[in-house]
Structure 1
Amino acid sequence: MSATVWLNGRLRDIADAQIAPNDRGFLLADGLFETIRVANGQTPHLARHLARLEEGCAILRLPAPDRRLLAQAISDLLHATKLSDGSLRLTVTRGTGPRGLVPPAMPHPTVLIQTTASTMTVSAPVRLGLSRYRRDGASPLARVKSLASLPSVMSRMEAIAAGMEDALLLGMTGAVAEASAANILFLREGRLHTPPVHDGALPGTSRARLLEGGFCTECSLLPQDLKTLTGAWLVNALSLTAVSGIDAHGLSLHEELDRQLREFLFSV
């Protein structure tokens, strides 16, 4: 696979792909991204990602790239890189601008698409700790895939330093929101649930598919109720990972339910 990216309308060698020093994505995290699964050279859930990107652009008052342009760009990049299985990272920033917070009246967004090759492997179960960082489910920004990811970065770093693999962030409601880079599914009394968006959960694409498919329902989860859980998984567009424990509370692994979830999410 060649080191090729798609940047602002052209396929480029990654060594020649340049972003301006005054790009607002670089300076202010003024932009969005989507991580899109590639399977057998195809992007089976691209429409969901592009719809969420457009919704995020509307929230940020950022001109959304044309869907047809992005679809063609992705097709061209997959052909150029010969990527069969892996992921695409689609990044959209507001582009360049003057110094300060106020953006230009007529922004010219920067659009970058990159590929990463991978094989679909089952990750080992992870142990989670509760993070000191919180997500504000009442904020419109909690519903977008923002480039401003420092709370997630710090949560993951601090969890690893404490001997865990990942962290759970609470919402401003005091209930569990999500992990550092994934939604959480939790099993309680034989039923599968996921935190609602108002508790701070990002409206993930895999989360939406599981809700639509009847695999889970929305339900708030307070920290004191973690001991009532019998199982949990982290889920995003690329992976499903079983949780072996949250802080001191150990969780069972459920192989058959894991298989059903994995087949539903990643068989297409």
Structure 2
Amino acid sequence: MTESVSVEDRGFTLGDGVFDTALALGGTVFARGRHVERLLAACDAIGIAVERAGIEAAIEAALTPAPSILRTTVTRGTAARGLWPASVGAPTVVVTAAPWSPALLGQKVRLVTASGRRNDLSPTATLKAIGYLDAILAAREAAQAGADDALLLNTRGRVACTTIANVFAVIGGRLVTPGLAEGCLPGIVRGLVCEIAPELGLAVEERPLAPAELGGAEAVFLSNSVRFLRPATALDGTPLADGSALIGTLMDELGRRVAAECRVALTPH
């Protein structure tokens, strides 16, 4: 793992890199294989040649028994000036750990629609690229409006994601979530929910989702790897349906998977 980052690192100067955020409990990263595979795929997509062994070693070095949020960042490293350099050195790999609390689980979220748009046509739309300014500005809008997160629409005015999460809605008894072509990230917990729901008798439909559909949905919730599932209670000041029963059922199954892999109970405080 890199102990320091050069001021000439392309991640610092140009945002030339990708990252992953995962939850570690009891010294084990939940869904570790999925996280590493997604990070490697993102590196490959932007042409960063990084070895899996290096990423795995950096993760191991950062693990402790304490519940932690692990962020793994990979950049192109240092190079001569220029947007596409003739040659580069070794990629930079940094893993940091921050404390995690079960109090983050199940927190309700009030949404506002961001004024900006997520560029679903960008080649980085489905990558966790380190250039996060669009999401940062949307998060500022949410904070200024007294909300908890911002809903990001794509260039066609359809639901993409929020600043930090994937979006799900129960509509007509089906679990609907935007497909990756809508500009959302292939979230790890998103993928798990799409696998778990049919096992619970709930059909999953990946399709374009209009913002107006959220108002009439039987439930709206968000997913990510740190907070797992969060019920959305309002959008732009209008209340959304209470889907706590369904969300609780999905969380119970996610909790069973966490316990099986990490040997730690996933229990909100």
Same fold (TM over 0.5): yes
Structure 1 partner of 2:90: 108
- The normalised TM-score by structure 2 is 0.87
RMSD: 1.7
Structure 2 partner of 1:180: 163
- Match 2:124 to one of 141, 144, 147: 141
In 2, the alpha carbon distance for the partners of 1:175 and 1:184 equals 12
Structure 2 partner of 1:248: 237
Q: Which segment drifts farther, 196-205 or 133-142? A: 133-142
Decide whether the 8 Å contact of 1:234 with 1:242 is kept in 2.
yes
In 2, the alpha carbon distance for the partners of 1:89 and 1:258 equals 26
Structure 1 partner of 2:7: 21
Decide whether the 8 Å contact of 1:42 with 1:84 is kept in 2.
no
Q: Deviations over 1:167-206 (max 9, x none)?
A: 0111122210000010011122232211111111111111
Q: Deviations over 1:10-64 (max 9, x none)?
A: xxxxxxx421111100010000000011122101311111111111111111112
The answer for unaligned runs of 5 or more in structure 2 is 259-269
Note the C-alpha offset of 1:68.
2.6
Note the C-alpha offset of 1:123.
4.2
Q: Does 1:262 align with 2:248?
A: no
Structure 2 partner of 1:131: 114
- The normalised TM-score by structure 1 is 0.87
Note the C-alpha offset of 1:104.
4.2
Note the C-alpha offset of 1:157.
0.5
- Match 2:35 to one of 26, 49, 57: 49
In structure 1, the residue corresponding to 2:102 is in which secondary structure?
coil
Note the C-alpha offset of 1:241.
1.2
In 1, the alpha carbon distance for the partners of 2:190 and 2:14 equals 29
Task: Using the aligned pairs only, state the percent identity.
Answer: 33
Q: Deviations over 1:221-253 (max 9, x none)?
A: 112333222321111111121111111331132
In 2, the alpha carbon distance for the partners of 1:41 and 1:245 equals 36
Q: Does 1:70 align with 2:58?
A: no
In structure 2, the residue corresponding to 1:142 is in which secondary structure?
coil
Q: Does 1:228 align with 2:216?
A: yes
The answer for unaligned runs of 5 or more in structure 1 is 1-5, 8-16
In 1, the alpha carbon distance for the partners of 2:28 and 2:52 equals 16
Q: Which segment drifts farther, 127-136 or 97-106? A: 97-106
- In the alignment, residue 164 of structure 1 is paired with which amino acid? A
- Match 2:18 to one of 32, 40, 45: 32
In structure 2, the residue corresponding to 1:206 is in which secondary structure?
helix
In 1, the alpha carbon distance for the partners of 2:239 and 2:61 equals 46
Decide whether the 8 Å contact of 1:143 with 1:203 is kept in 2.
yes
Q: Which segment drifts farther, 250-259 or 240-249? A: 250-259
- Match 2:179 to one of 188, 196, 205: 196
Decide whether the 8 Å contact of 1:204 with 1:236 is kept in 2.
yes
Decide whether the 8 Å contact of 1:176 with 1:220 is kept in 2.
yes
- In the alignment, residue 41 of structure 1 is paired with which amino acid? G
- In the alignment, residue 116 of structure 1 is paired with which amino acid? A
In 1, the alpha carbon distance for the partners of 2:161 and 2:68 equals 24
Q: Which segment drifts farther, 221-230 or 147-156? A: 221-230
Note the C-alpha offset of 1:106.
3.5
For these two proteins, the number of residue pairs brought into alignment is: 250
Decide whether the 8 Å contact of 1:168 with 1:180 is kept in 2.
yes
Note the C-alpha offset of 1:70.
2.2
Structure 2 partner of 1:88: 70
Decide whether the 8 Å contact of 1:226 with 1:249 is kept in 2.
no
In 2, the alpha carbon distance for the partners of 1:184 and 1:209 equals 13
